[in-house]
C-alpha cells in the first residue's frame, strides 16, 4: 500500500514533453532509483528507459521525455531494476500546461483596451485567456479572464501608465485534473495607447521635479533658520556682553604722534583746549569788561572823564587780567591738578587716563 502513497508531479508541456518528478531523498533514502515509461496499451508493452534524468544532490528525482500518446504508464524500480517501487497509469491529456500566448496585440479606443492573441492548434475550447494590469498608483494586479483568445476591459485613465501581462489557463476539471497555466507573456507598458519601454520613464520626470523642489525648499528654510538664529545670537551677545571699545582708537594720537609719551600728549592737549576756549570766549569777555567799565563810569559821577585815563598801566592790566580769568573760569567749573598741571573741568567734560 505504501507504493500508492508516493507523490509524483506530472506535467505535460503543451502535449509535447512529459516531466515526471518525485521526492528522491524523502522516499528512497540513499538509493538511486531507475525510471521507465510506455505509451503502449494492451499486453505487449514496450517499456522505455528514461532518456534524461533530473537530479537532486546526485540522486535521480525526475525524468523528462517526449509525449507520444494520450495514455501513459510509468514505473519506478530500484537501481538494478529487480524490484518495482512505484507504478501508475494516467491520461497525459489531463496534465497539460499550455505555452504562453503568441503574437499578443493591444487595441486602444478611448478608455477601452482589447487584447488578443493567436489561437493554439489544439484544444482551444479548453483554454482561457487571462489579462492582468496595474497602473503606477496600484499595488495589486487587477485580473480579467475570457474565452480564448480575445479579452477587453474599459475604464483606463489616459494620464496613467499601465503594465500589462497575459497568459493561457487550462480548464479544470473538464480538461485538466490540476490547475495548470502557461507562463506569463513578456510584460508591456502602455500610456494612452502608446507603447513605452517602462513606466519608470513616466515617473522619473515628476519624481525629479519633486526632489529638486523639496531640496530647494529645505535649503531656503535652513537659510532662514540660520539667519534668525544669528540675529538672536548677536542681540543676546550685545545685551549680555556689550562691546568694549578698543583703546588704540581713543588714544590714537597719543600712540601715533607722541609714541606713548603721556606728558607730551597732555601738554599739547591742554594747550589746544585752552587756546580753543580763549578764542571762543575772548569777544564775550571783552564785551563784559567794557560793560563793567561803563557801569562803573555811570555809577561814579564824582570824578571827571579825565580820571579814567589817569589810572596807571599796572592797575589797568590787573583789571583786564582779572576780567579774563573771571570769564574763563565759570562758577560751576572745577580745577583738577595732575603732575603740576591744572585741568579745567565742567559738567560736560571728563578726562580719560
pLDDT digits over 233-281, tens only?
777 667 766 666 665 556 666 666 767 676 777 777 765 555 555 554 5
SS3 content of the chain, % helix, strand, coil (to 5): 35, 30, 35
Tens of pLDDT, residues 170-182: 999 889 999 999 9
Of residues 345 and 108, the one with the higher pLDDT is: 108
Specify which residues 132 forms β-bridges with: 143, 165
Domains parsed from the chain with CATH numbers: 8-97 (2.60.40.10), 105-195 (2.60.40.10)
Residue 20: the pLDDT is 94
Read out DSSP for 257-290? TSTT-HHHHHHHHHHHHHHHHHHHHHHHHHHHHH
Of residues 210 and 242, the one with the higher pLDDT is: 210
- Cβ atoms of 14 and 97 within 8 Å: the answer is yes
pLDDT at 32 over 50: yes
Tens of pLDDT, residues 70-129: 999 999 988 888 888 888 899 999 999 999 999 999 999 888 999 999 988 888 999 999
Query: What is the distance between the alpha carbons of residues 338 and 267, in angstroms, rounded to a whole number?
Result: 11
Q: Which of 249, 209, 218, 14 is nearest to 127 (CA)?
A: 14
Cell of 96: 497539460
Neighbours of 131 (CB within 10 A): 22
Residue 13: the pLDDT is 95
Q: Give the 3-state secondary structure of residue 220.
A: helix
Where residue 163 falls among pLDDT bands split at 50, 70, 90? very high
Looking at residue 138, the DSSP 8-state letter turns out to be -
Q: What angle do CA 184, 188, 189 make, to 5 degrees?
A: 145
Q: What angle do CA 345, 350, 352 make, to 5 degrees?
A: 125
Residue 242: the pLDDT is 64
Q: Give the 3-state secondary structure of residue 196.
A: strand
Give the C-alpha distances (Å, rounded to integers) separating 40 from 13, 48, 74, 85, 287.
20, 10, 11, 21, 154
Give the C-alpha distances (Å, rounded to integers) separating 254 from 100, 134, 244, 278.
102, 87, 19, 24
Amino acid at each position: 500500500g505504501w507504493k500508492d502513497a508516493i507523490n509524483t508531479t506530472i506535467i505535460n508541456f503543451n502535449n509535447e514533453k512529459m516531466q515526471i518528478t518525485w521526492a528522491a531523498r524523502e522516499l528512497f533514502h540513499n538509493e538511486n532509483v531507475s525510471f521507465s515509461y510506455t505509451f503502449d496499451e494492451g499486453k505487449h508493452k514496450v517499456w522505455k528507459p528514461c532518456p534524461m534524468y533530473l537530479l537532486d544532490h546526485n540522486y535521480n528525482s525526475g525524468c523528462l521525455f517526449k509525449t507520444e500518446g494520450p495514455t501513459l504508464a510509468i514505473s519506478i524500480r530500484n537501481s538494478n531494476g529487480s524490484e518495482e517501487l512505484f507504478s501508475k497509469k494516467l491520461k497525459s491529456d489531463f496534465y497539460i500546461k499550455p505555452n504562453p500566448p503568441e503574437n499578443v496585440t493591444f487595441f486602444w479606443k478611448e478608455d477601452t483596451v482589447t487584447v488578443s492573441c493567436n489561437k493554439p492548434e489544439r484544444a482551444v475550447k479548453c483554454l482561457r485567456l487571462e489579462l492582468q494590469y496595474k497602473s503606477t498608483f496600484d499595488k495589486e494586479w487587477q485580473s480579467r479572464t475570457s474565452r480564448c483568445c480575445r479579452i477587453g476591459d474599459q475604464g483606463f485613465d489616459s494620464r496613467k501608465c499601465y503594465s500589462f501581462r497575459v497568459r493561457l489557463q487550462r480548464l479544470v476539471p473538464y480538461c485538466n485534473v490540476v490547475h495548470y497555466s502557461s507562463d506569463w507573456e513578456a510584460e508591456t507598458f502602455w500610456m494612452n495607447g502608446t507603447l513605452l519601454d517602462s513606466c519608470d520613464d513616466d515617473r522619473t520626470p515628476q519624481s525629479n521635479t519633486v526632489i529638486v523642489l523639496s531640496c530647494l525648499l529645505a535649503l531656503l528654510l535652513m537659510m532662514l533658520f540660520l539667519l534668525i538664529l544669528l540675529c538672536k545670537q548677536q542681540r543676546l551677545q550685545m545685551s549680555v556682553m556689550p562691546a568694549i571699545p578698543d583703546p588704540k582708537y581713543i588714544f590714537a594720537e597719543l600712540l601715533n604722534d607722541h609714541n606713548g609719551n603721556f606728558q607730551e600728549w597732555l601738554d599739547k592737549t591742554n594747550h589746544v583746549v585752552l587756546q580753543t576756549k580763549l578764542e571762543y570766549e575772548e569777544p564775550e569777555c571783552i564785551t563784559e569788561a567794557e560793560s563793567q567799565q561803563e557801569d562803573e563810569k555811570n555809577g561814579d559821577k564824582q570824578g571827571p572823564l579825565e580820571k579814567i585815563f589817569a589810572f596807571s598801566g599796572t592797575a589797568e592790566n590787573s583789571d583786564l587780567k582779572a576780567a579774563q580769568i573771571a570769564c574763563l573760569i565759570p562758577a560751576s567749573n572745577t580745577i583738577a591738578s595732575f603732575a603740576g598741571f591744572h585741568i579745567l573741568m565742567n559738567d560736560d567734560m571728563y578726562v580719560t587716563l
